[in-house]
Structure 1
Amino acid sequence: MREVTMKKAILFKSASDDYVKAFTDCNYEVIFVEPLQFKYINTEELKEKLQQKYDGLILTSPRAIEAVSKCWDPSKFVSWNARKTYTVGDVSRQKITLMLGLEALGATSGNAENLAKLICNENPKSSKFLFPCGNLRSETLPNTLESAELSVDAVVAYETVENENLQQELVELNESEEEPYCLVFFSPSGCEYVHRRLKTFSNKLSSIPHFAIGNSTAHKIENFGVDIAGVAARPKPDSVVEAVQNYFTALTEGR
């Protein structure tokens, strides 16, 4: 029986069983490379803010959820059970329930822009939201809310920096005898750190098809002069794999 060779997909994110299964089911070997490291800051300020009166809480990244969990006290924050919590993606929704005991809205919105529209539609003007975020946050959500006369209190709860092992991991991938089939990026900052490092040495990785988890990440990749092979319709494993499969199917049929 002929052995099936698995194609190698490089995912620039932390390891995830869901992504391993989705890619493995489609005959891809998954290699995770985490381009980012996170440092949690302003914990006391965030804890103080959580004790104040807001109409809702906005958590658009797993790191923001983790930052809140570090100062979360269920006995002091019971009032949050009656307030609205918003997020993007089912993984984040589950994380909020597990770590904070809250039910989150907006998980199926797909991206920050759609989430902002949802929040504007569901809340009256002058509503005030607490927005724990990172130092590299996009201004799309707060700008959209503020233009609709909703108030956003942003607290920088974590800093994003480059993973100290990124250069070494990229060099090892580049020297691998088996060339990767595709590269998948999951954040604008991750894309920036990876391409900044790739510019420091001659490599074959820059010419391999690039895929993005969403439009913001895709635009960042294009800013580096690299064409986008595909963008996931939703920030979910099956949607990412679908984007990859669609590209290579079209490529094969076009030969």
Structure 2
Amino acid sequence: MKKIVLFKSVSEDYKKVFSDNNYEAVFVEPLQFEYMNLQELGEKLQTTNYDGIILTSPRAIEAVSKCWSPSKFVTWNTKRIYTVGEASSQKIKLLLGLEALGTTTGNAENLATLIANENSEKSNFLFPCGNLRSEILPNILKSKGITLDALTVYETKENENLRTNLMELNNTVNPCCMVFFSPSGCEYIYRQLQTFNNNLSVLPHFAIGNSTAHKIENLGVEIAGVATKPKAESLIESVQQYFKAMESCS
């Protein structure tokens, strides 16, 4: 069974989908996170001047959950909750008990377009985010007259075990390709790959989303495929298309 490296935390969904298609998923987490400004976040969640909240990452959802009280924040049941992807939607349901919109948008640009179409000008949204957030969504909404109250609630850092994990990957796993899930993860991984001789850099590189793909290309590496949606089924489809094309060329 071919092994595929997924640069993310362990996911049973990805593990099952790849196993069902005769691939073994190997997980390596390139990032670690530190939460911040949680007291301020809790205070903002208690205010009533927001039309909704936008949660575009698992860490933002987890930050909100650390301040969350269903009885205290009951007004959020009547507001709009937006996210990207089904996994995040399920996390919002599990941790916050709220139903999210935008789960099929797939990326920040599509989500911003949806929010702009569904809300009037001068709408006001709370936007808990990370220190390395993309400006795509804020810029689109700003151009549509929608206000975002952005609050940095977590900081993204390099996993302190990343270099060790990459060396072990290089020496023992022998994967057929690698999948990148975030621009910051790409940067940290390549910073470490430059510190030792490896076979990983020449493997086919796949990306979840265009922003991650662009980051890989900016590092001077060719992209083998991009998953159209942040879900395992889209990723395995991209991987299979690539290797099928390679077989037809050989």
Q: Which bin holds the TM-score, normalised by the shorter protein?
A: over 0.9
- In the TM superposition, residue 233 of structure 1 has moved relative to its aligned partner by 1.5
Is the aligned partner of 1:89 residue 2:85? yes
- In the TM superposition, residue 179 of structure 1 has moved relative to its aligned partner by 2.1
- In the TM superposition, residue 242 of structure 1 has moved relative to its aligned partner by 0.6
Is the aligned partner of 1:191 residue 2:186? yes
SS at match of 1:104: coil
Is the aligned partner of 1:180 residue 2:175? yes
Match of 1:72 in 2: 68
Is the aligned partner of 1:212 residue 2:207? yes
- In the TM superposition, residue 94 of structure 1 has moved relative to its aligned partner by 0.8
- In the TM superposition, residue 56 of structure 1 has moved relative to its aligned partner by 0.7
- In the TM superposition, residue 174 of structure 1 has moved relative to its aligned partner by 1.1
One-letter code aligned to 1:42: N
Normalising by structure 1, we get a TM-score of 0.96
One-letter code aligned to 2:199: K
In the alignment, the residues of structure 2 paired with residue 233 and residue 69 of structure 1 have an alpha-carbon distance, to the nearest angstrom, of 28
One-letter code aligned to 2:85: G
Identity between Structure 1 and Structure 2 (%): 67
> Which string of whole-angstrom CA distances, capped at 9 and with x for unpartnered residues, describes residues 83-139 of structure 1?
000000001111101111111000001101000000000000000000000000000
- In the TM superposition, residue 25 of structure 1 has moved relative to its aligned partner by 1.2
Match of 2:240 in 1: 245
- In the TM superposition, residue 74 of structure 1 has moved relative to its aligned partner by 1.3
Match of 1:151 in 2: 147
Is the aligned partner of 1:227 residue 2:222? yes
Q: 82, 99, 109: which one pairs with 1:103?
A: 99
Matched length: 249
In the alignment, the residues of structure 2 paired with residue 158 and residue 136 of structure 1 have an alpha-carbon distance, to the nearest angstrom, of 9
In the alignment, the residues of structure 2 paired with residue 97 and residue 20 of structure 1 have an alpha-carbon distance, to the nearest angstrom, of 22
Unaligned runs of 5+ in 1: 1-5
In the alignment, the residues of structure 2 paired with residue 175 and residue 86 of structure 1 have an alpha-carbon distance, to the nearest angstrom, of 42
One-letter code aligned to 2:84: V
In the alignment, the residues of structure 1 paired with residue 24 and residue 219 of structure 2 have an alpha-carbon distance, to the nearest angstrom, of 27
Q: 121, 125, 138: which one pairs with 2:134?
A: 138
- In the TM superposition, residue 173 of structure 1 has moved relative to its aligned partner by 1.1
- Quote the RMSD (CA, aligned, Å): 0.7
Unaligned runs of 5+ in 2: none
One-letter code aligned to 2:141: L
SS at match of 2:113: helix
Runs of 4+, deviation exceeding 3 Å:
none
In the alignment, the residues of structure 2 paired with residue 97 and residue 234 of structure 1 have an alpha-carbon distance, to the nearest angstrom, of 20
In the alignment, the residues of structure 2 paired with residue 20 and residue 73 of structure 1 have an alpha-carbon distance, to the nearest angstrom, of 33
One-letter code aligned to 1:163: N
In the alignment, the residues of structure 2 paired with residue 19 and residue 254 of structure 1 have an alpha-carbon distance, to the nearest angstrom, of 28
In the alignment, the residues of structure 2 paired with residue 220 and residue 113 of structure 1 have an alpha-carbon distance, to the nearest angstrom, of 16
In the alignment, the residues of structure 1 paired with residue 190 and residue 22 of structure 2 have an alpha-carbon distance, to the nearest angstrom, of 27
One-letter code aligned to 1:132: P
In the alignment, the residues of structure 1 paired with residue 198 and residue 6 of structure 2 have an alpha-carbon distance, to the nearest angstrom, of 17
